[in-house]
Chains A and B, each alone.
Chain A
Amino acid sequence: MHLRGLMLLFLLLSSQALFARPDGKALYIEKCAACHQFAGGGGIGLPLSAEKFRDYSDDYLFKTIRLGRPGRIMPAFEDMSDAQVQSIIAFLRTRTQTRERVYDTSPLNGDAGHGRVLYTRNCIACHAEDGLGAGQGTGVTLSRKRSFLVMPAAIANPGFQQAATDRMIRQIITVGRESSGMPAWGKQLSEKDIDDLVAYVRVLGKQVPKRPELAEDEPPSHVYESPYDFETTVANIKATLVGNNFRIFPDRFLEQGVTDEFEVNRKQIGVRFCNFNELYGMLKIEPRLGVVLPCRVTIMERPDGKVILVVPNLRVISRWFNNDQLVELWDHMEETFNEIIEEATL
């Protein structure tokens, strides 16, 4: 009874914390700074500069935080209250020393056909034919030269499409982005041309292919039973991996490093492998990938003598990063993994 009372008190205190006035700075540090850096210089996430914020409405920022950018690393922060999101925006306004730019929300009536011609001529090199941005990766870290700060925006991304009003897109096209090399098209195109471009940006938003879904019952790993004994299975896996152009690292027992060499279970081994060309290509796309590296097949002899192989399900893992480029690559790699296991356990 006493314990129950304490628990209720703890819950009450927690709920009071939920209703307290949110601290935008603290929330920014907790939720955003790891990717965007405290000063907004960017890292895994894009820079949050005053140059950009001058053109943003608070509604755009609110929806961007809420919706994120599906498939483009920035997650959707659905768990925060409206007040918490607004407090982050208020903090960012103070830090960038900008004021909200308020836009008329009525749509523009541009000619998307003509917009397409202009887009093909002026925008396609950076924003790509599908409007999802040319090149790989995002942010300023690892994958990019430091002198080139941002990936071109994925203007067809559903998160951007829902957050940005027509008139905000028009403003951005008009004034450009000096820091990321986007010209101020208002100096080269007429107002009508820019309205036509906005109309085509909306068309691109409707053409975005559906993101590849994962079945509800997809398991986080695959377990295979080997018809061979432990040592033969390990040897088979290594031979198959080498045959598939993977480099093999020295074996590590599952318990190695967490106990001494006499205690370690030698019938649980991780065969670790890598193809460095592919690895570095993947790190360009997803700098956080190390949390699931290196690739490994764990081979274990069970107490009943059965030998099993356990491999992570790459289709599941790739979806943890909200990064569609990685999903596409790893869906393909999952097939390679399955073929390797099948070959080694034939």
Chain B
Amino acid sequence: MIGSIRLLFLALLLFTGQALADQMLMARINMKADLAIEYLKTAVDEHGYAVAHIQKCDSGLGGFGFHSDTYRVLFIGKLAEIRDISAKHPEFVAYLPLKIVVEAEKGETVMVAVDPLTFNRYYPNDQEMQIQFQRWRNDILSIFNDVHKAAGGAVALGTHPD
């Protein structure tokens, strides 16, 4: 049975073996940010996470010469996971709850999260944590995909932002 679980884990790694070229998971969708945030909240909820908090970061950006309409950070988490990890791995609470950045680029929206597999190297012998990181990664990608589908699945076809 344990052999099968290991095989499943390997299969998942192969199947979702997206670029570890970068430590960020990113998606761009052809939808305005305020609407994308609503879809994102729904997708987060449907994946069993709670939106703990939304941090608004854009109110002062214009005054500093920035040109972004919206910049938000969504904090998402599951109570059971936060309790379990804070008890067993208090050092990891620095990264909880998980965060998703939503950034407007005119009529498009970019979503960014740290790739949870980034943390694998710090828990090389902890299979439980490694499975947790893989699960978070799968969920974040699935959440991004749901928002992408909600935008009609169309890729952003715009040209240079002016």
A interface list, Cβ under 8 A from B: 3-4, 7-8, 10-11, 14-15, 29-31, 33-35, 37-39, 41-44, 47, 68, 75-80, 140-147, 149, 219-221, 223, 252, 254-259, 263, 265, 268, 276, 279-280, 283-284, 287-288, 290-294, 296, 298, 300, 302, 308, 310-312, 320-322
Contact = CB atoms under 8 A, between A and B. Distances in A.
B149 to A, nearest CB: 14
Given A7-B4, A79-B17, A142-B67, A290 B22 contact: no
Contacts of B155: 29, 33, 38
Interface centre among B18, B57, B73, B100 (most CB of A within 10 A): B57
A141 B58 CA distance: 14
A258 B78 contact: yes
Interface of B: 1, 3-4, 7-8, 10-11, 14-15, 17-24, 26-28, 50-53, 55, 57, 60-61, 64-68, 71-73, 75, 77-79, 82-83, 86, 90-97, 99-101, 103, 105, 108, 110, 112-114, 118-119, 122, 155-162
Nearest to A143: B66
Given A34-B27, A149-B160, A255-B82, 13 more contacts: A7-B7, A43-B108, A47-B160, A140-B160, A142-B66, A219-B122, A221-B94, A268-B86, A288-B112, A291-B101, A310-B90, A310-B94, A321-B23
A300 B101 contact: no
Contacts of A31: 19, 21
Contacts, number: 202
Contacts of A300: 86, 90, 93
A258 B52 contact: yes
Contacts of A322: 22
Contacts of A47: 160
A220 B91 CA distance: 8
A286 to B, nearest CB: 11
B79 A258 contact: yes
A14 B7 CA distance: 13
16 contacts: A3-B1, A4-B3, A4-B7, A7-B11, A14-B15, A38-B158, A68-B21, A75-B21, A142-B66, A220-B92, A221-B94, A256-B52, A283-B66, A288-B24, A291-B73, A308-B90
A283 B101 CA distance: 13
Contacts of B50: 257-259
A128 to B, nearest CB: 21
B19 A80 contact: yes
A290 B73 contact: yes
Contacts of A320: 23-24, 114, 118
B66 A37 contact: no
A276 B60 CA distance: 8
B4 A4 contact: yes
A268 B96 CA distance: 12
